[in-house]
């Protein structure tokens, strides 16, 4: 397996609501026509199954060859930025992860690689969700979904909708979250792992929407009376009596 193939598989294992069902696809530019759109073959996989863990990003900046770069080289550079973004995200270095994802996004947009553009946007949404910046997370997830509309990849769309639903759930907007989870479930039909994960998430949201029982004050049992305390009797002493003359 060459380096490009490994990077291609790695880059598409972005964190999703469905940890064991990452977006798996083998993407490459046809060698005979590097200006053609990427050819995509569905290839469900994870980092574990291909035996290629993420490697530490190189400390030196990647060379920007500009004019000298072929389309394939620029595409590979974009993939390496995605891989670096994923690596930093797993280490909790969200700011650096974001920087790498945005570099990848610039390249994928420049090359009109819609599938990978949507994947990177989804990764940025995950990044901002982890940073608890839910407003930006929603923006990036919605942008990923918008790009995904141009592709015939309903399962990917289902996963992205599930990610968006999770953010609404974290914001306590459980009704909107449940609506999105239901849409995601319909789109992910046939992907067993994704469906199972979405159902699990939906259960938490449905429980959160159930009305909570009202707390009532304990009532005093009927037939019970409070015994009155006996009043002390006044005692008239002999010295206080008046004589009758």
Query: Is a pLDDT exceeding 60 seen at residue 192?
Result: yes
DSSP state of 210: S
Q: Within a domain: residue 80?
A: yes
Segment 97-121, tens digit of pLDDT = 999 999 999 999 999 999 999 999 9
Q: Of the ranges 38-42, 124-128, 172-176, 184-188, which one carries the lowest mean pLDDT score?
A: 38-42
Q: Is residue 216 part of a domain?
A: no
CATH of the domain at 110: 1.25.40.10
CA 119/CA 81 separation, integer angstroms = 13
Quick check: 165 pLDDT over 90?
A: yes
For residues 218 and 228, what is the distance between their CA atoms, to the nearest angstrom?
23
3-state SS, residue 40: strand
Q: How confident is the model at residue 240 (pLDDT cuts 50, 70, 90)?
A: very low
Tell me whether residue 237 is in a domain: no
pLDDT in tens, 3-14: 433 333 333 333
Task: State the total domains in the chain.
Answer: 1
DSSP string for residues in 179-205 = HHHHHHHHHTTT-HHHHHHHHHHHHHH
- The least confident of 59-68, 178-187, 216-225, 236-245 is 236-245
Domain that includes residue 38, residue range: 3-209
Q: Is residue 223 part of a domain?
A: no
Residue 85 domain flag: yes
Judge whether 10 lies within some domain: yes
Q: Is the pLDDT of residue 44 over 70?
A: no
Is 35 part of a structural domain of the chain?
A: yes
pLDDT in tens, 131-163: 999 999 999 999 999 999 999 899 999 999 999
> Does residue 230 fall inside a structural domain?
no
């Amino acid at each position: 397996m060459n380096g490009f193939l490994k990077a291609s598989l790695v880059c598409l294992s972005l964190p999703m609501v469905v940890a064991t069902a990452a977006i798996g696809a083998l993407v490459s530019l046809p060698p005979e026509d590097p200006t053609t759109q990427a050819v995509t073959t569905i290839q469900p996989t994870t980092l574990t199954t291909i035996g290629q863990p993420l490697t530490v990003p190189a400390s030196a900046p990647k060379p920007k060859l500009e004019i000298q770069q072929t389309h394939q080289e620029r595409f590979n550079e974009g993939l390496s930025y995605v891989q670096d973004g994923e690596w930093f995200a797993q280490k909790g270095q969200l700011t650096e992860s974001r920087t790498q994802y945005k570099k990848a996004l610039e390249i994928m947009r420049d090359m009109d690689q819609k599938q990978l553009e949507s994947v990177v946007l989804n990764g940025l949404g995950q990044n901002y969700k982890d940073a608890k910046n839910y407003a930006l997370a929603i923006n990036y997830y919605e942008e990923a979904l918008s790009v995904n509309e141009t592709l015939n990849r309903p399962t990917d769309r289902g996963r992205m909708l599930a990610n968006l639903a999770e953010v609404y759930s974290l914001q306590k907007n459980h009704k909107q979250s449940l609506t999105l989870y239901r849409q995601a479930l319909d789109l992910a039909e046939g992907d067993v792992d994704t469906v199972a994960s979405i159902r699990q998430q939906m259960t938490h949201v449905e429980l959160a929407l159930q009305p909570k029982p009202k707390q009532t004050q304990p009532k005093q049992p009927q037939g019970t009376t409070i015994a009155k305390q006996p009043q002390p009797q006044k005692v008239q002493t002999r010295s206080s009596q008046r004589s009758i003359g």
